[in-house]
Chains A and B, each alone.
Chain A
Amino acid sequence: QSALTQPASVSGSPGQSITISCTGTSSDVGAYNYVSWYQQYPGKAPKLIIYEVSNRPSGVSNRFSGSKSGNTASLTISGLQAEDEADYSCSSYTSSIILFGTGTKVTVL
């Protein structure tokens, strides 16, 4: 199974909104609402920011939101802040198998 497809990089100015896409197939992203998103700073472990497409764990800013349409999931960061500069990865869970996205580097201009 191939990795989910994400743009390599996305950038935006402080205060703007950006959206990161995560494209899979009807067998993974499109099959279930088991898409999650992780934020990762250099040299650090990933941190969960969205689970089951659009749910935020306790303590995660409401500037992060998730959605899905067909075989593509999306992460939107609104009111972009300097601290949002990090790598973001999506993942899809299907019958014990985890597929991760290719990863997106977010740059705050």
Chain B
Amino acid sequence: QVQLVQSGAEVKKPGASVRVSCKASGYTFSVYYIYWVRQVPGQGLEWMGRINCNSGGTNYAQKFQGRVTMTRDTSINTAYMELSRLTSDDTAVYYCARLQQNWFDSWGQGTLVTVSS
């Protein structure tokens, strides 16, 4: 079955960077886009960007342009999201999700990133 397994929780200081991984299994990795979505505690879901797991091409939400980098390693079926210049406002749960045409049919379990001095 399709599975997306994310890396564990992180605690970072303001100004640092964080990298979250998302390992896919149960399907052909390069056929689908992986999207990254975050959820600040008590708030709604927020789209951050996406990566074409075949070409490596990316599209980022305007809000995160210049601060986010999404990559993938097809040899190990893993997508990565790196967010730099962290502030307390970046404290959130970060999800990866597989796009099936125009909906998300599979989600990672989420990675809590806490930014605190």
Contact = CB atoms under 8 A, between A and B. Distances in A.
Interface size class of B (residues with CB under 8 A): 20 to 34
Interface stretch (A9-17, A43-51, A74-82): A43-51
B107 A51 contact: no
Judged by DSSP, the binding face of B is strand
A61 interface: no
Interface of A: 3, 32, 34, 36, 38, 44-48, 51-52, 57, 89, 91, 93, 96-103
A45 B109 contact: yes
Contact of B46 (A32, A57, A97, A100): A100
Interface of B: 35, 37, 43-47, 50, 59, 61, 95, 97, 100, 102-105, 107-110
Contacts of B61: 97
Contact of A3 (B44, B104, B110): B44
27 contacts: A3-B44, A3-B46, A32-B102, A34-B102, A36-B103, A38-B104, A44-B110, A45-B108, A45-B109, A45-B110, A48-B103, A48-B104, A48-B105, A89-B45, A91-B103, A93-B102, A97-B47, A97-B59, A97-B61, A98-B35, A98-B37, A100-B44, A100-B46, A100-B47, A101-B44, A103-B43, A103-B45
